[in-house]
Amino acid sequence: MRRSVLIALLLGLFVGVANLSAKDSQPKYKNAEVKYFTNGDAVGLSQHLVNMFCDSLRAQLLKDKVAAQVVDEGAAVPEADAADSIVVEGKFTEFKKAGRTMASPGKMGWDINLYRKSDHSLITNVTGSDSTMPGWTEDQLAKGMAIRVSYLIKKALK
């Protein structure tokens, strides 16, 4: 009798843990529309870097399960899903190119607004900056910053 109670208790514990992890793995929103970021005053990022960043951010938002589907700027979202969809809109506020040594890292800053797609009401604002590493290519920089920004977006939406 004790053994069957213990087995039932352990089984219940495993099912409970499985349900908690499954709940956490669900995307927060159905859709996310990522608009192309713009350069702020005196920020001269190349269009290639901006495009790579936005593409990397779309992929990272999916990977981080911020949204079940990430669509391009201006893509149609079904009316029924609009209330459960967000728009990611931002600009780069700062860019300082890294030097050739670890003593002179670069810096990249951003200002991002997250809106509800249905009524364009502001959900939250994410601002920040991060250091860039010397010797990074534009592709590496774009991907590294997209990972960081996606993490901050997910954190802000919790």
pLDDT (0 to 100) of residue 58: 95
CATH of domain 27-157: 3.40.50.10610
> Which position has the token pair 């208790």?
9
81 exposure class (CB count in 10 Å sphere: 0-12, 13-18, 19+): middle
* 2 or 59: which leads in pLDDT: 59
For residue 46, give both structure tokens.
Answer: 């190349």
Higher per-residue confidence, 147 vs 104: 147
Q: Residue 88, Cβ neighbours under 10 Å: how many? A: 25
pLDDT over threshold 50, residue 5: no
- Report the pLDDT averaged over residues 110-131: 92
Q: What is the mean pLDDT of residues 42-69?
A: 92
The reported pTM is 0.78
- Does residue 73 surpass a pLDDT of 90? no
Tokens 């951003």 label which residue? 110
